[in-house]
Amino acid sequence: MANDKTGHLEHRVRMTQAKIDRYGKLNGDNDILHYDHDYCIERGFRGTIAHGLHNMAPSVDLALEKYGRDFYYRGQVTVRWTGPVCPGDELVTVLDAEDNVVAKIENRGGTVMVGKSTLRDA
């Protein structure tokens, strides 16, 4: 994670099929879209698709970095997915000073998630 002088926090992760498989074992989501490359290609995707909550995790990590312990008790994340994340994608998630969170695929271009990571009022 990186923090620049404008208050932007950034998290980068390279998605792999191994990461998708491990996450699926943890959460029990065995949907074929996460595991069968050929099935996904036949349906117009670039490959298997990473789990949405897996892709959202960096927005929580960034909010924890920004707010510390308060985020455990008053944290709130609201996101909307706008595209898939596939093996080989470099996912870059940014939390800005206004609590906006945006995830993009750096090596392919395109936004895949938008939303907010904030604190609820006490």
pLDDT digits over 8-59, tens only? 899 999 999 999 999 999 999 989 999 999 999 999 999 999 999 999 999 9
What are the residue boundaries of the structural domains of the chain, listed by start? 2-15+52-119
CA-to-CA dists, residue 33 to 12, 21, 113, angstroms: 23, 11, 18
78 — pLDDT class (breaks 50, 70, 90): very high
Query: What is the pLDDT, as a whole number, of residue 20?
Result: 96
pTM for this prediction: 0.88
pLDDT at residue 115 tops 60:
yes
Which strands make up the sheet holding 90-95, listed edge to edge?
A: 2-3, 9-14, 90-95, 100-105, 111-119, 75-81
Given CATH 3.10.129.10, say whether it is the number of domain 2-15+52-119.
yes
Mean pLDDT of the chain: 92
